[in-house]
Copies of this chain bind each other. A is one copy, B any other.
Amino acid sequence: MKIIRTKEGMREWSRSCRAQGKTIGFVPTMGYLHQGHLSLVEEAARAADEVVISIYVNPTQFAPGEDLEVYPRSEEEDLRKAQEKGATVGFCPSSLYSEGYQTNVIVEELIKPLCGVSRPTHFIGVATVVTKLFNIVRPDTAIFGKKDYQQLAIIKRVVEDLDQGVTIVGMPIVREADGLAMSSRNAYLTEAERAQAVALSQVLDLVRRATKNGERASHVLRDMALTHFKKFPLLQPEYVEIRDRETFELVTEVHDRCFIALAAKLGTTRLIDNSELD
A residues sitting closer than 8 Å to B (CB atoms) are 7, 11, 18-19, 21, 96-98, 100-110, 127-128, 131-132, 135-136, 157-158, 160-165, 247
Contact present for B106 and A103 (CB under 8 Å) = yes
Q: Which residues of B contact A161 (CB under 8 A)?
A: 97-98, 101-103, 132
A158 contact from B96, B103, B108, Cβ within 8 A: B103
**Would you give the shortest CB distance from A1 to chain B, in whole angstroms?**
23
Contact present for A135 and B158 (CB under 8 Å) = no
Given A103-B157, A157-B103, A162-B128 contact (CB < 8 Å): yes
Tell me the dominant secondary structure on chain A's binding face.
mixed
A/B interface sample: 14 pairs, CB < 8 A? A11-B165, A19-B21, A98-B160, A102-B110, A102-B161, A103-B107, A103-B108, A103-B127, A103-B157, A103-B158, A104-B106, A105-B162, A132-B161, A135-B164
Contact present for B131 and A162 (CB under 8 Å) = yes
A247 to B100, CA, bound (A): 9
A163 contact from B108, B135, B158, Cβ within 8 A: B135
Q: Which residues of B contact A21 (CB under 8 A)?
A: 19
Q: Which residues of B contact A101 (CB under 8 A)?
A: 161
A251 to B105, CA, bound (A): 30
Contact present for B132 and A162 (CB under 8 Å) = yes
A102 contact from B11, B108, B136, B163, Cβ within 8 A: B108
Contact present for A104 and B98 (CB under 8 Å) = no
Contact present for B135 and A165 (CB under 8 Å) = yes
**Would you give the shortest CB distance from A218 to chain B, in whole angstroms?**
23
Q: Which residues of B contact A7 (CB under 8 A)?
A: 163
Given A11-B165, A165-B11, A102-B157 contact (CB < 8 Å): yes
A102 to B248, CA, bound (A): 13
